[in-house]
Amino acid sequence: MEFKHQATVTLAEVAQAAGVGESTVSRVLRNHGSFSGKTRERVMAAVERLGYVPNRIAGTLASTGSRLVAFVIPSLSNIVFPDVLRGASAVLEENRYQAVFSVTDYDPSKEEALAAAMLAWRPAAVMLAGCEHTEGTVKMLRASGCRVVELLDLDGDALDIAVGFSNRAAGRESAAFLLKRGYRRIGYVGHDLNRDTRAGKRFSSFCETLDAHDAPLIAREILAGASSVENGRLGLERLLARTTDLDAVYFSNDDMALGGYFHCLAERIAIPSKLAIFGYNGLDIGRATPQPLSTIRTPRVATGQIAAQLVVGNAPPQAVDLGFELIEGATA
């Protein structure tokens, strides 16, 4: 037996059942235009009786603007993006918008392909991570006429709307904090930077700041693949095997930093007296560790919320800097 019921009740059938015209049903359902209370009741009764579910595909095609918002994000493993989606989806749902998404795995050419596929749904807006995109992506988005929101990175030219903060500033402040604390022999443990350009920006600004204070980075360990707690642990282990006199390590993010933290716990390396640890993101888990993680808290959920609000409100092009917060913690 096949599964094709598609009890497809149409607006026309509702109209007939209610004894009114199609447009009247449409008006009642969208609560738009004028109609009498009596008509309203008859229509609603028919809708109820027939179990009518409006067809948004048809509705969107017939009207001008769609209520779809497309997210093209690098990853779902990195909690950053679910957090952004979470912030955005609450606002979008309130405004009867619908979120659509696809995942690029940090691959710019995949981003281009997926953005193209998204555009085919004629979304009201496309939301992307960061401001680095292929030429093709930029051209396509420009030509599309739909709103474009670039998230989580303000270090570059925005196509239309940008919401987030400066990763370069985050890298700088992290370095400044460690220097202020008196650390001078600093190392870095990070994940694949070519793919995660935002982590790359933090790292390069971090290094520049160290250089400017005559305390250049002493050692680094870059692990292939995505950031993870295990990679952070492994990275610190490797770094310490090669370099014995470090007094602080900057990690590409909190996942990695937690790995480093666990490595120190396991190896009984005193934190921060023997080795300081500094992360990035300000995950909740970093606040519950025996020693709160020193890190920078980023406004991930708020980024999603604001982005969604700007789209819903059809705001003019702008860059919104939500800033970030340095959490002193107890590991640095």
Q: Measured between alpha carbons, how far is 265 from 248 in angstroms, rounded to an integer? A: 15
Q: Are 124 and 66 in contact (CB under 8 A)?
A: yes
Q: Which of residues 148-167 bind its own copies (CB under 8 A)?
A: 160
Burial class (CB in 10 A: 0-12, 13-18, 19+), 19: exposed
What phi, psi does 109 have (nearest 5°)? -75, -30
**Three-state secondary structure call for residue 217:** coil
24 binds, among its own copies, DNA, none (CB under 5 to 8 A by kind): DNA
- At 297, list the tokens: 């808290």
Residue type, 154: L
Site for its own copies in 58-77 (CB under 8 A): 58, 60-61, 66, 76-77
Residue number, 8 or 244, with CB nearest to DNA: 8
Q: Which helix (H) or strand (E) holds 103?
A: strand 98-103
Binding mask 52-91 for DNA (x = CB under 7 A): x-xx--xx-xxxx---------------------------
Interaction residues for its own copies, span 183-222 (CB under 8 A): none
Give the residue, chosen from 13, 16, 44, 103, that forms a contact with its own copies under the rule CB under 8 A: 103
Amino acid at position 151, single letter: L
Nearer to DNA, 37 or 225 (CB): 37
Which tokens hold the place of 296? 């920078």
User: How far apart are alpha carbons 246 and 234 in whole angstroms?
Assistant: 16
Q: Which residues pair with 250 in a beta bridge?
A: 188, 278
Where do contacts with DNA occur on this chain (CB under 7 A)?
Answer: 8, 10-12, 19-24, 26-27, 29-30, 32-36, 38-39, 52, 54-55, 58-59, 61-64
Where do contacts with its own copies occur on this chain (CB under 8 A)?
Answer: 3-8, 51, 53-58, 60-61, 66, 76-77, 79, 81-83, 85-86, 89-90, 93, 96, 98-103, 114, 116-117, 119-122, 140, 143-147, 160, 228-230, 232-233, 255, 258-259, 262, 265-266, 284-285, 287-290, 317
